[in-house]
């Protein structure tokens, strides 16, 4: 069950928060009793490579992954989704323009400007049809600001 559907069902969820950019540490966290795992690029030590490597054990544990991107780095939102995250947290969205940029990076056209490239996410989420993936992605992914 996706993160979005669980939240829509009014389920209370607890996410582990990882600031340590180490896949083994993330794997240990993912195997605990948390409902989801968040990888923190804003205040934590995670960077693009550690997010890619850290999402592997989270998804292998069949848990939703969230990524908190650095302030103003909306380009990292689409990268996090391409890597397999279900949700992205954008800190310090302080203007309408910030919100528009973030939303555009999160969704494929016509809802946004995200470009095609889910090299990692597509096979990890078990979809076999690219058109179906494109339709479902805009509905499944979540943006938190």
pLDDT 10s digits, 113-124: 998 877 777 776
Who contacts 52 (Cβ-Cβ below 8 Å, separation ≥6)?
83, 120
| Angle CA 21–26–30, to nearest 5 | 160
pLDDT 10s digits, 52-65: 999 999 999 999 99
Assign a CATH topology to domain 3-139: TIM Barrel (3.20.20)
| pTM score, whole prediction | 0.93
Indicate if the alpha-carbon torsion angle 118, 22, 11, 89 is positive or negative: negative
**Cβ pair 30, 63 in contact under 8 A:** yes
**In whole angstroms, what is the distance from residue 141 CA to residue 139 CA?**
6
Q: Which of 43, 46, 47, 130 is catalytic?
A: 43
- Domain coordinates of the chain in residue numbers? 3-139
Whether residue 47 lies in the annotated active site: no
**In whole angstroms, what is the distance from residue 39 CA to residue 63 CA?**
13
């Amino acid at each position: 069950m996706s993160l979005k559907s669980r939240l829509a069902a009014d389920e209370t969820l607890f996410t582990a928060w990882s600031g340590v950019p180490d896949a083994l540490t993330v794997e240990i966290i993912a195997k605990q009793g948390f409902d989801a795992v968040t990888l923190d690029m804003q205040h934590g030590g995670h960077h693009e490579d550690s997010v890619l490597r850290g999402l592997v054990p989270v998804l292998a544990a069949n848990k939703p992954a969230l990524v908190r991107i650095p302030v103003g780095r909306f380009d990292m939102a689409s990268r996090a989704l391409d890597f397999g995250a279900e949700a992205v947290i954008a800190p310090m969205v302080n203007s309408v323009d910030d919100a528009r940029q973030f939303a555009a990076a999160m969704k494929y056209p016509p809802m946004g400007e995200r470009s095609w490239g889910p090299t990692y996410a597509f096979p990890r989420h078990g979809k076999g049809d690219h058109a179906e993936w494109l339709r479902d992605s805009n509905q499944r992914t979540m943006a938190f600001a």
